[in-house]
């Protein structure tokens, strides 16, 4: 057998031996280790959400218990008063109470034109 053929044969045998050893190490050592670690991570991640939910519920419950009773009264009464005022304004004046009247829109347009046409700002009166 020529020398070059022996070198090629030696290269092929060495590559095959290294490939068998590495694939065996992967299949018998690394792969089972990674599978165990992934299973542990999945188990831990499934426990996180219920713990967080319990912690949030407990935190909110503690906070609500610590609030003084009169804090609820003032907040609820004030927000209800504002809501009723807003609703009565819409009922009495229609949408113009929200958007403004036609005269308001025209006045704004004139002010914008005046400030851009002269190059100086016009102060609203």
What average pLDDT does the chain have?
Answer: 77
Higher pLDDT pick, 59 / 32? 32
What region, left, alpha or beta, does residue 100 occupy, with left being phi > 0 and alpha being psi -120 to 50 degrees?
Answer: left
Number of other CB atoms surrounding residue 115 within 10 Å: 14
Locate tokens 């050893």: which residue? 21
- Span 77-87, pLDDT tens digits: 666 666 666 66
Is the predicted pLDDT of residue 30 greater than 90, yes or no?
yes
Enumerate the domain spans of the chain: 1-65, 80-116
Higher pLDDT pick, 18 / 64? 18
Task: Give the Cα separation of 125 and 51 in Å (integer).
Answer: 59
Task: Give the Cα separation of 94 and 73 in Å (integer).
Answer: 31
CA 108 vs. chain centroid, Å, equals 39
pTM: 0.40
DSSP H or E stretch at residue 28: none
């Amino acid at each position: 057998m020529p020398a070059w053929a022996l070198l090629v044969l030696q290269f092929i045998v060495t590559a095959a031996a290294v490939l068998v050893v590495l694939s065996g190490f992967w299949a018998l050592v690394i792969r089972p280790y990674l599978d165990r670690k992934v299973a542990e991570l999945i188990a831990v991640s499934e426990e996180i959400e219920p713990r967080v939910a319990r912690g949030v519920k407990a935190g909110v419950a503690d906070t609500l218990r610590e609030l003084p009773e009169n804090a609820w009264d003032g907040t609820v009464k004030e927000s209800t008063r504002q809501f009723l005022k807003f609703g009565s304004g819409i009922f009495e004046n229609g949408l113009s109470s929200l958007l403004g009247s036609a005269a308001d829109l025209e006045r704004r347009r004139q002010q914008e034109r005046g400030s851009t046409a002269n190059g100086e700002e016009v102060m609203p009166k």
